Structure 1
Amino acid sequence: MRPYLEKLPPISDASWSMLNRRLDDGIPFQWHHHPEYELTLTLNSIGQRFIGDHVGEYGHGDLVLVGPNLPHTWSSRERIDAGGPHVALVFWFRQDWIDGFLGNAVELSPIRQLFAEAAPGLSFGPEIGESLRSRFEAMFSRPPRARLMAVLDLLAELAEQRERGRAQPLASGLPPPTTESRSRIDRVLNALHRDYAGTVRMGDLADLAALSQSGLHRMFSKHTHSTISAYLTRLRVGDACARLSGTTQPIAHIAAETGYRSLANFNRQFRSQTGMTPSAYRASFRT
């Protein structure tokens, strides 16, 4: 598992960030979050995406706008064209860019509203993703000023699609955290991501957050729309997904390494999250 908080490198000639990610070996399960909004178009890839408490299938043309500090990852299962890589075209936007650059311009208010609605993640569907593919790809060869104008035009198109009802919310809605509560929840989430495979004690997490155990549960539910136990299950199952798809470790060994002493309980929890047994999940990567 990667560190929970992902920090993005700045780009010297741009006020926002982008990445043309091309992977021959597949998109790995890397559960993370960051304060930026993330717009991702995925091409030539089939698998599962995990966004907050949403678990769903994705395919070629998957287009998603993820809100800030919303845990997310994609995990590929296969390529559509075996001769080409899995592709993720990713754009990131900071809140201060939205507030400062878009400002009070009435003409750009639909874009501001698009971002305001993106807290739970928005899926635009493969048809929209494929129709915008050439505009995403061209972004990486444009000079800085033309690139800025092009991304504004792209965001305006997505805002229009949202207004037409063609954007589907994914995770449960999350309230924007304050700086103080963000620090508390980050400490708890970092501990969960570091120690999820071991024994997780509520008292230890409450001490990290400087809260009572009841206060810890209220804070966690408020910021993740999940219980701690359900969140822990998703972490463990996510790690198991990565091991099942990328290694030949026996399933019983994977269960133990991801925090399950009972193989039956592991099978039950895995199926509740993915809709299939661990052996069926592994077999889907071998087909």
Structure 2
Amino acid sequence: MRPQYEHLTLSPGHSWQLLWRELPELPFLWHYHPEFELTLTVNARGQRYVGDHLADFADGDLILLGPNLPHTWSASERIDPARQMLAVVVWFSRDWLVQLQTSLPELAGLLQLGKRADRGLQFSATAAEAVRPLMLRMENLSPAQRLPLLLELLLLLAQDEQAQPLASIASAPIALDAQRQRMARVLDYMHAHFQTEIPVQLLAERAALSVGAFHRFFKRHTQLTVTAYLAQLRIGSACQLLIQTDKSIGAIAQQAGYRNLAHFNRQFRAAKGVSPREFKNRYR
């Protein structure tokens, strides 16, 4: 199966990204992205796929993945059935590591850790146990408080001589060839401007393709039409605003890129199975 390219966007004011993901199960989503990924999995038992490597995993599994390395986790068994599975995920770029070393030579070991992660690294039980409480604290901290915690845990992991590489040398990370660079340019623009009307002609020009060829190119790389992809972005943004703000439904629709409230309500219900107001009430 060909892995899907995943476009990650940093939140405003962040140089790296944290995801706190609670789910009843971990679905199989074979994908890759240009960022490093550090993932701690809690209360789950299943299979982990990294490049050509397949292994079982359980509670406390801690993995660092290098850029463009295909991967996924798949699990349907919760160790404690009364609790959700939890994946705590940190993403950061190679440029971020390079800038750290340039500004703070004391952190040179982190760049070496990044090089070791090109094939994926599974950390020892001792290292994972030491890092686990640090990662679990992050959710309740401000971005400024999270940063020193991240540096502390990465320095701990850099000292783990028992960490094991996962994928074989032959299973190299996917190179960002011309096609994927072209796709990245398009997605960067869509993620930055989805609140506005985006003519397909403009996206086609960024990809240096005709409109017809661009539609086929976009569908091949994302498995979605341009309209469906934009709807995902806008509905995702609306969900964040519904949970995190007290703005009116109309104001949220406008901010998410919808000029017609009725159209927003229909698309939201189609995507989430409930109205925006019902969705908001779930989180009050």
Choose which of 169, 174, 178 in structure 2 pairs with 1:183: 178
Percent identity of the aligned residues? 44
Amino acid at match of 1:82: P
CA deviation vs aligned residue, 1:86-140 (integer Å, no higher than 9, x gap): 1100000111211223326331111110001110000003443233221101112
State the distance in 1 between where 2:103 and 2:142 align: 26
Structure 1 Cα separation of the partners of residues 3 and 120 of structure 2 = 21
- Residues in 1 aligned to 2:162 and 2:106: alpha-carbon distance in whole angstroms: 21
Q: Which residue of 2 aligns with 1:16?
A: 16
Cross-structure match for 1:4 = 4
Equivalent residue for 1:172?
168
Match of 1:129, as an amino acid?
A
Number of aligned positions between the proteins: 181
Q: Distance in 1 between matches of 2:166 and 2:181?
A: 22
Amino acid at match of 2:145: A
8 A contact 2:127–2:156 mirrored in 1: no
Question: Which residue of structure 1 aligns with residue 58 of structure 2?
Answer: 59
Read off the aligned partner of 1:172 and give its amino acid letter: S
In structure 2, the residue corresponding to 1:132 is in which secondary structure? helix
Q: Whole-Å Cα distance in 1 between the matches of residues 85 and 66 of structure 2? A: 23
Matched, 1:122 2:85: no
Moved more, 94-103 or 28-37: 94-103
| Cα shift at 1:52 | 0.2
Return the letter of the residue paired with 1:70. L
Q: 1:35 touches 1:68 (CA, 8 Å); kept in 2?
A: yes
The aligned amino acid for 2:97 is I
Structure 2 unaligned residues grouped into runs of 5+: 183-284
Change (3 A) 1:27 1:178: closer
Q: 1:184 to 1:13 in 2, by over 3 A?
A: closer
Q: Which runs of 5+ in 1 are unaligned?
A: 188-287
Preserved contact between residue 70 and residue 174 of structure 2 (Cα < 8 Å): no
Offset of residue 13 of structure 1: 2.8
User: Does the C-alpha gap of structure 1 residues 95 and 155 become closer, same or farther in structure 2, counting only changes over 3 Å?
Assistant: same
Letter in 2 for 1:14: H
1:1-287 superposed matches below 5 A: 4-24=4-24, 26-103=25-102, 105-161=104-160, 165-173=161-169, 182-183=177-178
Distance 1:178 1:89 in 2: 26
Q: Distance in 1 between matches of 2:127 and 2:78?
A: 20
**Against the structure 1 CA distance between its residues 147 and 178, is the aligned structure 2 distance closer, same or farther, given a 3 Å change threshold?**
same
Report runs of 4+ in structure 1 exceeding 6 Å deviation.
none
8 Å Cα contact 2:3-2:32 kept in structure 1: no
Give me the whole-angstrom Cα distance separating, in 2, the residues matched to 1:183 and 1:32.
18
Name the amino acid aligned to 2:27.
Answer: P
Matched-pair contact (CA < 8 Å) for 2:31–2:70: yes
Which letter maps to 1:122? L
Q: TM-score scaled to structure 1, two decimals? A: 0.58
Change (3 A) 1:175 1:73: closer
Q: Secondary structure at the match of 2:31?
A: coil
* Partner Cα distance (2:48, 2:181) in 1: 22
Tell whether the 8 Å contact from 2:70 to 2:173 is kept in structure 1 after alignment: no
Q: Does structure 2 conserve the Cα–Cα contact (< 8 Å) formed by 1:61 and 1:125?
A: no
Amino acid at match of 2:21: R
Aligned alpha-carbon RMSD (Å):
2.3
- The CA deviation at 1:175 is 5.6
TM-score normalised by length of structure 2: 0.59
Q: CA deviation at 1:144?
A: 2.1
Change (3 A) 1:176 1:106: farther
